[in-house]
């Protein structure tokens, strides 16, 4: 089995001269190009010569003690939603294939480049990020490493970002999260996925799905990995993740909504984690959050994503509607039916929802819930539109709560080796990202080691 190190371990190896950026990058490129692997479906664009030049440049800077950060030279993948100077941003679609190359990096990509990360390639995704399952009929769907022979899906929309990390084709992935698109693929593939408070990270140069809900975050192998990338993206100092006993933490578990329709594996893994946290001294309290039951009513006319994506796509739809994935197209077109009054009422309903939920959770360090109520389904089980939309809605339900709340959330692996992958989600209200990372770091070892 391939050793899959954390960013801190890679940074230490680079600093000690035990490896080089060129070596790390060549290893990743070999895995991407392996015809027996998922590289061809995971990446939509890789420029080997440019990538190797980046690695060589980082090695030269490090040899002169001028590396821009401890992570300089580590390969990271970039979701196809972000501009990279000189490359075409297709957003997992064929509709944009002929658009001009970007003239500059997206703001968050520029920050990663400035820290010295090697931009290994552009990863596959659900077209225009409009699904939590990760399917792409244009470029294929990269398969989950768990149950790959059965054709299990990776989750989305940041599907390629997750598979690039699980298969060691990159050591972290840049994704987006509008309703769970970092956390869902992380939960489905045994990784850590982070959704920050949206306003912390600039979204310039990223194709929007919903300007009200979009967030930009990492998928990686540990809480510390995600915290390190998040700090660079937000241009902040990384949080202090010095060990904190769970005995000082107080968690809230919603008693309804987030468990409806949950698989037995999801429930069993979640209950085991609660038992381990309680045994470690953490205080875990079940609470009623009745506002969660109002979410279907708030989103009854489609919610933010259809109307805000329709605004961006309206001109393209006039000329290229037939080129869209029909399952994506139908949801974007729904945005045309929302009136200005409907939209203003939606904004007001969200504001009231945020205020009410924040009052209920304010006395806790974080919320705990399953990231998704189901384990990764088989691709073959999603062939009909009815099955697709039913499963998609179920998969998005829990993580989307936090986007509507304008909060921050993280998904941790919540299963033992050999078990179906599940995720444990921790969440806080907006602006408490450092607090959330500290909680997640304390929880991470407890739930995986017992």
CATH of the domain at 205: 3.90.1300.10
Q: What is the pLDDT of residue 2?
A: 54
Q: How far apart are the first and last CA of the chain?
A: 24
pLDDT at res. 448:
76
Q: Is residue 386 part of a domain?
A: yes
* Same-domain pairing of 320 and 215: no
For residues 55 and 152, membership in a common domain is answered with yes
Residue 243 resides in a domain? no
| Structure-token pair, residue 241 | 């993740």
Q: Tell me, yes or no, whether 107 lies in a domain.
A: yes
pTM of the full structure:
0.98
The answer to whether position 119 is within a domain reads: yes
Catalytic residue among 20, 41, 79, 159: 79
Is residue 433 within 8 A of residue 200, CB to CB? The reply is yes
Residues of the chain short of pLDDT 70, as ranges, are: 1-3, 449-450
Tell me whether the omega of the peptide bond preceding residue 157 falls within 30 degrees of 0, making it cis.
yes
Are residues 87 and 114 both part of a single domain?
yes
**What domain count does the chain have?**
2
- pLDDT for 366 equals 98
Q: Give the structural domain span for 183.
A: 7-234
Q: Are residues 259 and 194 in the same domain?
A: no
Q: What are the pLDDT digits (tens) for 377-430?
A: 999 999 999 999 999 999 999 999 999 999 999 999 999 999 999 999 999 999
Report yes or no on 193 lying in a domain: yes
Is 131 considered catalytic here?
no
Spatial CB neighbours of 227, under 8 Å, sequence gap ≥ 6 = 194, 238, 239, 241, 437, 441
In a domain, 301, yes or no: yes
C-beta of residue 251 within 8 angstroms of C-beta of residue 366: yes
Is 285 found in the same domain as 182? no
Q: Domain check: are 273 and 156 in the same one?
A: no
Nearest-angstrom CA–CA distance, 222 and 259: 25
- DSSP 8-state assignment for residue 221: S
Q: What are 352's two structure tokens?
A: 């009231």
Same domain, 180 and 115: yes
Using alpha carbons, select from 360, 161, 397 the residue that is nearest to residue 262. 397
The residue annotated as part of the active site, out of 181, 210, 212, 411, is: 181
Q: Is residue 343 part of a domain?
A: yes
Cβ atoms of 276 and 246 within 8 Å: the answer is no
CA distances from 275 to 163, 214, 272, 283, 425 (A): 31, 34, 5, 11, 16
Q: Is 181 an active-site residue?
A: yes
pLDDT, residue 1, reads 37
**Residue whose pair of structure tokens reads 């075409």 in the numeric block:** 88
- In this structure, the answer to whether residues 200 and 326 fall within a common structural domain is no
Same domain, 155 and 287: no
Q: CB neighbours of 326 closer than 8 A, spacing ≥ 6? A: none
Of 205, 234, 263, the position where a domain reaches its end is 234
Beta strand 423-428 with 408-413 is: antiparallel
Q: Which of 234, 259, 292 is the last residue of a domain?
A: 234
Beta strand spans in 263-349 (E): 283-287
> Scanning the structure block, which residue is given the tokens 């970092």?
182
Residue tagged active-site, from 21, 131, 157, 215: 157
Looking at the structure, tell me whether residues 18 and 101 fall in a common domain.
Answer: yes
Q: Is residue 1 included in any domain, yes or no?
A: no
| Domain termination residue (choose one: 234, 259, 289) | 234
Are residues 208 and 297 both part of a single domain?
Answer: no
**Side-chain-facing half-sphere of 364: CA atoms under 13 Å:** 23
* Tokens of residue 171, six digits: 């050591």
- Give the contacts of 106 (CB within 8 A, at least 6 positions apart): 82, 83, 84, 204, 205, 206
List the beta bridge partners of residue 426. Answer: 368, 410
Are 206 and 57 part of one and the same domain? Answer: yes
């Amino acid at each position: 089995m391939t050793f899959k190190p954390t960013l801190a371990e890679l940074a230490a190896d680079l600093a000690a001269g035990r490896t080089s950026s060129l070596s790390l990058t060549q290893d990743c490129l070999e895995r991407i190009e392996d015809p027996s692997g998922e590289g061809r479906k995971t990446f939509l664009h890789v420029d080997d010569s440019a990538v190797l030049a980046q690695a060589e440049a980082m090695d030269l800077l490090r040899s002169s003690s001028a590396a821009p950060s401890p992570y300089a030279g580590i390969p990271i993948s970039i979701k196809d939603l972000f501009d990279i100077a000189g490359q075409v941003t297709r957003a997992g679609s064929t509709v944009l294939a002929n658009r001009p190359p970007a003239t500059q990096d997206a703001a968050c990509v520029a920050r990663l480049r400035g820290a010295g990360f090697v931009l290994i390639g552009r990863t596959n995704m659900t077209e225009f990020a409009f699904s939590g399952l990760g399917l792409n009929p244009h470029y294929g769907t990269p398969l989950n490493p768990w149950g790959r022979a059965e054709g299990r899906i990776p989750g989305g929309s940041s599907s390629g970002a997750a598979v690039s990390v699980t298969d060691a084709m990159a050591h972290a992935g840049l994704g987006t999260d509008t309703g769970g698109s970092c956390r869902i693929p992380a939960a489905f593939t045994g990784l850590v996925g982070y959704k920050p408070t949206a306003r912390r990270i600039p979204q310039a140069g990223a194709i929007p799905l919903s300007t009200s809900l979009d967030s930009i975050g990492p998928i990686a192998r540990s809480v510390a990995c995600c915290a390190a990338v998040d700090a660079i993206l937000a241009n902040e100092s990384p949080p202090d993740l010095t060990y904190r006993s769970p005995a000082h933490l107080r968690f809230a578990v919603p008693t309804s909504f987030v468990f409806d329709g949950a698989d037995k594996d999801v429930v069993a893994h979640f209950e085991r984690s609660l038992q381990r946290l309680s045994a470690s001294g953490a205080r875990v309290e079940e609470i009623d959050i009745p506002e969660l039951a109002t979410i279907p009513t708030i989103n009854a006319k489609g919610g933010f994503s259809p109307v805000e994506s329709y605004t961006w796509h309206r001109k393209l739809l006039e000329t290229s509607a037939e080129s869209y994935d029909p399952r994506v197209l139908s949801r974007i077109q729904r945005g045309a039916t929302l009136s200005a009054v409907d939209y203003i009422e939606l904004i007001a309903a969200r504001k009231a929802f945020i205020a009410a939920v924040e009052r209920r959770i304010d006395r806790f360090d974080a919320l705990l819930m399953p990231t998704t109520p189901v384990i990764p389904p088989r691709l073959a089980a999603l062939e009909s539109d009815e099955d697709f939309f039913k499963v998609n809605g179920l998969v998005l339900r829990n993580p989307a709560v936090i986007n509507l709340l304008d909060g921050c959330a993280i998904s941790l692996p919540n299963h033992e080796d050999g078990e179906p992958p599940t995720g444990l989600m921790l969440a806080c209200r907006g602006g408490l990202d450092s607090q959330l990372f500290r909680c997640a770091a304390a929880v991470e070892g407890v739930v995986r080691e017992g």
